Amino acid sequence: MNHRNAFIRRPVLPSGFLIVIAVFLLLAAIEQGPFALEGEASPGVKPVRADPDISKGIDLMYERQFNDAEDLFKRFIAERPNEPSGYFYLAMVSWSRLAAGFWSPNMVKAFEKRIDLAIEVAQTQIDNNRVDIYDFFYLGGALGYKGRFELMKGNWISSFFLAKDAVDSLKICIKMDPDNKDVLFGIGTFDYYTARFSGVKKFLTYLLLHEGNKEEGLKKLTIASREALYSASEAQSMLLHIYLFFEGEFPKALELAVPLAGRYTQNPRFKVLEGVAYVRLGMDRQTQETVSELRRRGAKAPNKEEAAIWNRQALYLESIHDLFQGHCHQARATLQKILDQPDPETDPAMIAWPLMKIGMSYDLENNRDMAVRYYKQVLDMKNGAGAQVLAEQFQEKPPAKEDAFLGY
């Protein structure tokens, strides 16, 4: 791969805890943008039903069947070239690839081009008075995603103004249809994470949008997880991450992880998160059963590459268990097994993240020099698969003994 793009090599990210907020907002929200407000119903609005093609495409993305999802949304666009939804979800295929660790310059360029086209098509529909409820919805979503991308590059001001434009679009959407539960996913995510902002970021949020509220955010996300047309699974995933890595509500995390792992059987990530919930609950037998299940799925995989992906995830979960148990030497040995079988083409995340975990293991042993050496190695990678986010944070300040991100 050609990795001359400097941003891909080492993105410029906000420092401290805010970078963790940034990465979760970036990795989440496959279905729509991050903001909306309450409103009054417009007369004559008909109930909206989920489009089966869109729902199928979203499931394909969750199953990591990116090529199939891309083909589906390209056909969707060919059949309905004036509708913004197909363009938006095609951009989300690119974003899903990025979230899975495929941070090549071509992937980034594809996302940027596709999200801009989604904005253009939605705006054209609105300008030509051919608009329906979801045109404002997808315009707000695309603007929100572009804002998230600007945030990851450290462009806070442009990110906030894009967020304001997203709010304006989604205000109209929710005014036209107050029962739109997909919008609740966006505003719930926004409410929860911006409630954690401080200083100038909190001021800008309040000035340009409105003040975040953690409890309201969780409430909205819960409703979306049960009732949204397109974003129910993503709301469940968001809540799972919040309860597992921010709130320490491990029983709630487990309640979300089990059905997600059961539904998306071709994606090992949810099964690993189920295992992390068992680790945090001290359920060692169930943790080992999850490791065994990951290996069983690897044995049933249709090819060697996919089998290796499942087996790496089994090792990765074992290392997480060892880190929380304080068995740092054993964790490093397990992580080295992953690094001894790298596959940068189909599983790039399982290079950067094991290196990250080794660095954390040394920090847990108060070996700061070795820890920083591994964090720097991650930061110097051409494709850090998102691990640079934590590497920058822990390079400045080591993780605590029970840091939740030992399990990420």
pLDDT, tens digit (0-9, with 9 covering 90-100), for 4-53: 333 333 333 333 333 333 334 433 333 333 333 333 333 334 445 789 99
User: pLDDT: is 212 or 187 the higher one?
Assistant: 187
pLDDT at position 21 is: 38
Element (H, E) at 223: helix 214-227
- Average pLDDT for 302-330: 97
Does residue 211 surpass a pLDDT of 80?
A: no
What's the whole-number mean pLDDT along residues 202-217? 62
Give pLDDT, residue 25.
Answer: 42
pLDDT single digits (tens) 166-207: 877 877 877 888 888 888 887 787 788 777 764 444 444 444
Q: Is the pLDDT of residue 145 over 90?
A: no
The class level of CATH for 9-42+52-227 reads mainly alpha
- The predicted structure's pLDDT at residue 45: 41
Choose between 200 and 152: higher pLDDT.
152
Q: What is the pLDDT of residues 232-271, one digit of tens each?
A: 998 999 999 999 999 999 999 999 999 999 999 999 999 9
Question: DSSP string spanning 341-390?
Answer: S--TTT-THHHHHHHHHHHHHHHHTT-HHHHHHHHHHHHT-S--TTTHHH
Residue 106 — pLDDT band, cuts 50, 70, 90?
Answer: confident
Q: Which residue has the higher pLDDT, 280 or 205?
A: 280
| pLDDT score, position 49 | 76
Please, what is the Cα angle at 378 between 377 and 383, to 5 degrees? 120
* Least confident span in 94-103, 125-134, 229-238, 378-387: 125-134
Confidence check: pLDDT of 3 > 60: no
On the question of pLDDT at 67 being above 70, the answer is: yes
**Where along the chain do its domains lie?**
9-42+52-227, 248-407
Mean pLDDT confidence for 135-156: 82
Cα 151 from Cα 146, distance rounded (Å): 9
pTM of the model: 0.84
pLDDT score at 389 = 81
User: Sorting pLDDT into bands at 50, 70 and 90, what band is 212?
Assistant: low
On average, the pLDDT of the chain sits at: 84
pLDDT at 46: 41
Give, as one character, the DSSP assignment of residue 15.
Answer: -
pLDDT tens for 49-65 read: 789 999 999 999 999 99
pLDDT of residue 38: 31
Least confident span in 6-15, 59-68, 140-149, 317-326: 6-15
